[in-house]
């Protein structure tokens, strides 16, 4: 994948995450600025999702740990495990929101 392809995919992903958070029915504030999306929960915790263009990765920082996702077979997968990004985000958001949340690309 070249830089242009990565940027299109990553920008589309961040927008899809914003839309999924908006549609999930849980009160989560979000702000997207310059390739970074910050989710803020009622308890004050945050999840930060950002582009890492030089590496063609998406990095996700939760209150528990950080994960690096790379595109493989048309999906974003954790480089240290087998978690797919949407599954991981659903689990992480559920923990930090203290309610079950399922985020999906639309």
Give the domain CATH number at 69: 3.30.920.10
As a whole number of angstroms, the distance between CA 29 and CA 39 comes to 6
Residue numbers of the domain that contains 69: 3-97
Within-domain flag for 106 = no
pTM for this prediction = 0.91
Q: What's residue 76's pLDDT? A: 95
Question: pLDDT digit string (tens) for 22-40?
Answer: 999 899 999 999 999 999 9
Within-domain flag for 104 = no
Is 60 in contact with 47 (CB distance < 8 Å)? yes
What's the total number of domains in the chain? 1
Within-domain flag for 105 = no
């Amino acid at each position: 994948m070249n830089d242009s392809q990565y940027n299109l995919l990553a920008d589309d992903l961040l927008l899809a995450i914003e839309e999924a958070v908006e549609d999930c029915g849980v009160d989560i504030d979000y702000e997207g600025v310059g390739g970074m999306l910050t989710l803020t929960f009622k308890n004050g915790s945050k999840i930060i999702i950002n582009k890492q263009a030089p590496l063609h990765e998406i990095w996700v920082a939760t209150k528990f740990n950080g994960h690096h996702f790379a595109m493989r077979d048309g999906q974003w997968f954790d480089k240290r495990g087998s978690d797919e990004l949407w599954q991981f985000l659903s689990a992480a958001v559920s923990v930090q929101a203290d309610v079950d949340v399922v985020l999906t690309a639309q």
